[in-house]
Amino acid sequence: MKGIITTLSFCASLVASGIASADTYVNPYVRSDGTYVQGHMRSDPDGSRLNNWSTRGNVNPYTGQPGYKDPYSNGYGSSSDRRSRSRLGGWDKSD
CA distance 94 to 1: 58
Collapsed DSSP state (helix, strand, coil) of residue 86: coil
**Same domain? 55 vs 37:** no
Question: Tell me, what's the pLDDT at 39?
Answer: 96
Q: What is the pLDDT of residues 54-87, one digit of tens each?
A: 999 999 999 999 999 999 987 675 544 444 444 4
Shared domain for 91 and 71, answered yes or no, is yes
DSSP three-state, residue 1: coil
- Domain match, 38 and 66 both: no
Confidence class for position 21, pLDDT limits 50, 70, 90: low
Residue 61 and residue 40 share a domain: no
pLDDT of residue 74: 79
- Tell me the whole-structure pTM to 2 decimals: 0.49
- Our count of domains for the chain comes to 2
Considering the domain architecture, whether residues 35 and 54 belong to the same structural domain is answered as no
Instruction: Count helices and strands (H / E) in the chain.
Output: 1, 6
CB 55 within 8 A of CB 33: no
Do 86 and 52 share a structural domain? yes
pLDDT given for residue 6 in this prediction: 62
Q: Return the closest-CA partner of residue 17 out of 41, 51, 56.
A: 51
92 and 54 inside one domain: yes
pLDDT of residue 36: 98
Q: Which domain holds residue 64?
A: 47-95
For β-strands 23-26 and 29-30, DSSP reports them as unpaired
Whether 35 and 51 share a structural domain:
no
Same domain, 19 and 39: yes
Do 55 and 76 have their domain in common? yes
